[in-house]
Amino acid sequence: MTKKESLPERLEATFLTSAPDLKRCPPGFGAEVAFAGRSNAGKSSVLNQISGNKRTAKVSKTPGRTQLLNFFDIRTGGRIVDLPGYGYAKAAKAAQKTWQKSVNHYLSYRNHLAGIILVMDIRHPNQAFDLEMLEWSTKSDIPIHVLLNKADKLSGGAQKQILQKIRSGYSDYPYATVQCFSAMRGLGKEELITKLLDLLATPIDGDELIADEEALIENGHEPVLEDLLEDQPSDLPADISEDLSQEKSQEKSQEKSENP
């Protein structure tokens, strides 16, 4: 995608299926790009912004909304997989373990994984889970693109400052690219769509889903990401702190199924 005029304004995305674990993921078909990140960072909102449809994925003010691996077909080719978030400490431990295991196994063993969009809240970047993802993707040669989401919460100057700081701190992660984004306002959309089209066009070697994850684990293929169940956000710098309770007070009730 070199010519700006040929860049689509949105990537049409159609919900395909939800899977509770790797075994129940659909057979792979083309490249998959996973949206990963802490709970409430805005993964599902990012997908809705780039698909131009607020209803593509379910969004909630309550962290922990996405609890299944949600697959979306992209009309121009490939799939996006909206993953459950990490680090929502208030969720029942057993439930957290179940869905975080499913994320770990998906990332560790899914053949079709071509890249990761790592969504962070720009006000709480580089949490333990984020750094682990960056390290793992670097070791595994999986391209990773970091979105500093909710940029609308900060001034343009503060956005630039944080972007620069994060970029210059990633010298150990040569595959990582970083941008500011706002799922609410669409800021950074062209850059993200360009990146996604590139990743979604990745040729995939070998086709089938690795069906037997247990066998892989027994053979010594440990999942790459481990327990980060209580990865709490660090304190906000005073100049960009804000009342997070406002987000909670706007909470709307959500339907039980994650997607229609």
Ligand X SMILES: Nc1nc2c(ncn2[C@@H]2O[C@H](COP(=O)(O)OP(=O)(O)OP(=O)(O)O)[C@@H](O)[C@H]2O)c(=O)[nH]1
| 34: β partners | 81, 116
Please identify, using beta-carbon distances, which residue of 43 and 110 lies nearer to Mg ion. Answer: 43
66 is an interface residue for ligand X by CB under 6 A: yes
- Which single residue is written with the structure tokens 């071509």? 114
Q: Which of 41, 146, 166, 176 binds ligand X (CB under 6 A)?
A: 41
Does 18 contact Mg ion by CB under 5 A? Answer: no
Q: How far is it, in rounded angstroms, from Cα 121 to Cα 150?
A: 6
Among 11, 32, 33, 42, binds ligand X (CB under 6 A): 42
CB 102 within 8 A of CB 69: yes
| Using rule CB under 5 A, residue 45 touches Mg ion | no
40 binds, among Mg ion, ligand X, none (CB under 5 to 8 A by kind): ligand X
Give the one residue of 48, 66, 67, 149 binding Mg ion; rule: CB under 5 A.
Answer: 66
Query: Could you tell which of Mg ion, ligand X, none binds residue 39, using a CB distance below 5 to 8 A set by kind?
Result: ligand X
The binder of ligand X chosen from 18, 44, 102, 179 (CB under 6 A)? 44
Q: Using the rule CB under 6 A, is 51 a contact of ligand X?
A: no
**Residues 71-130, interacting with ligand X (CB under 6 A):** 84-85
44 binds Mg ion (CB under 5 A): yes
Q: Minimal distance in Å, beta carbon 259 to Mg ion?
A: 11
Single out the segment in contact with Mg ion by CB under 5 A; choices: 25-33, 35-43, 103-111, 215-223: 35-43
Q: Judged by CB, which is closer to Mg ion: 43, or 189? A: 43
**Binding site residues, Mg ion, CB under 5 A:** 43-44, 66
**Binding site residues, ligand X, CB under 6 A:** 37, 39-45, 59-61, 63-66, 84-85, 149-150, 152-153, 182-184, 247
